[in-house]
Amino acid sequence: MIQLRIQKVEISDANRLREIAVETFSETFSNENSEENMIQYLTENFSIDKLSKELKNCNSEFYFALYDTKPIGYLKLNFGNSQTELMNDDAIEIERIYVLKDFHGKCVGQTLLSHAITIARKRNSNFIWLGVWEKNKRAINFYEKNGFIEFDSHKFNLGEDEQVDLMMKLSVSEISYQDEICFIKKYIRNTYNLSILDFGTGEMCFINNIQESLKDRIGEIIAIDNKEPEDLYFNLGKINLIIQDGFEYIETTQKRFNLIIFSNVLHFYDYEKQNEAIRKALDKLKENGIIFIKIANLNHSYNSQEDKFVFKEDRIKQVGKLAEILEIRELEKHYDLILKKPVLR
């Protein structure tokens, strides 16, 4: 299994930082920009002297994403008056977050973003913001899926070319994997030999975090999705990946589970089928088992405009609407649901 570590970059790492910075920036932008503008930007912004000064700045921090000992991505955070746009002191800027192309789709960027959120929480920051080139659709999609919303734009000079960056922000109160796992742990308590079903596992980042966090307590994990992940950055371990329609599986399986996970619950189904799947899942729980429902973020894909309209409000209203539909008696927290038998009429 790949051992991905996040490590703070020290002044002695300036050369390694320059290498990963130049390589990732070049991979990301060289096809869309002239060679002259790229050379000018790289020379002006990624010299050892400039990076060393940034590393010495107490209001900036760099972090490597390490695969074994090799940097495969990095993160730069700015605080206070080091932010490239003047924001409140309760804001943090992600100035740079880059991953080598060979490691795209392997949750490295997600891990770096989660680290930024952790730091923001420790500093009691209210929000994280960043600028992303308006033509970088892949990055924009990534941020939107993580709950970032566009709030402004600013100019960005790449060599002699004046470009437009979209400014996006994320409220630090948004849930992260660490919060979700703590949330789940509270309910499964001291249960061992856990049987877990992940309904609609997607790229499997979340279920792998569950596996890592609960590894000594897991008996079996079944991860269901209607298509294979594009790539995996970890060995499956105890995860049994089944490519099948989730509704079909929940209808036919004879297995019983301690934990059933629904993420982004409107992704594949309309309301009626989604709610029927959740009702059927309740019948597949072991005694004292739970269902964890992570409500879809505002930018997730939906089956119909009607569904998207209903769920376009903030997370509190999303959960309230789902609770109303399912006639749930107990509502836990303000952005997710825990269902225990029996909770439905």
Query: Could you list the active site residues?
Result: 143
The one-character DSSP state at 297 is: P
Radius of gyration over every alpha carbon of the chain, rounded to an integer in angstroms: 22
**Amino acid, single-letter form, for residue 251:** E
- The Cα 16–Cα 9 span in angstroms is 9
**45 Cβ contact list (under 8 Å, min separation 6):** none
- The Cα 125–Cα 61 span in angstroms is 15
Q: What six digits make up the tokens of 134?
A: 């308006």
- The Cα 341–Cα 335 span in angstroms is 20
Dihedral, CA of residue 61, residue 65, residue 68 and residue 70, to nearest 10? -80
Assess contact for 299 and 145: CB atoms under 8 A.
yes
**36 Cβ contact list (under 8 Å, min separation 6):** 159, 160
**Amino acid, single-letter form, for residue 311:** F
- The Cα 293–Cα 208 span in angstroms is 17
Q: What six digits make up the tokens of 168?
A: 């996006």
How many CB atoms are closer than 10 A to CB 130?
Answer: 24
- Our measurement of the distance from residue 52's CA atom to the centroid of its chain's CA atoms, rounded to an integer in Å, reads 30
Q: Where are the alpha helices (DSSP H) in 154-288?
A: 177-188, 205-213, 246-252, 271-282
- Closest to 239 in 3D by CA, of 285, 195, 177, 186: 195
Element (H, E) at 67: strand 60-67
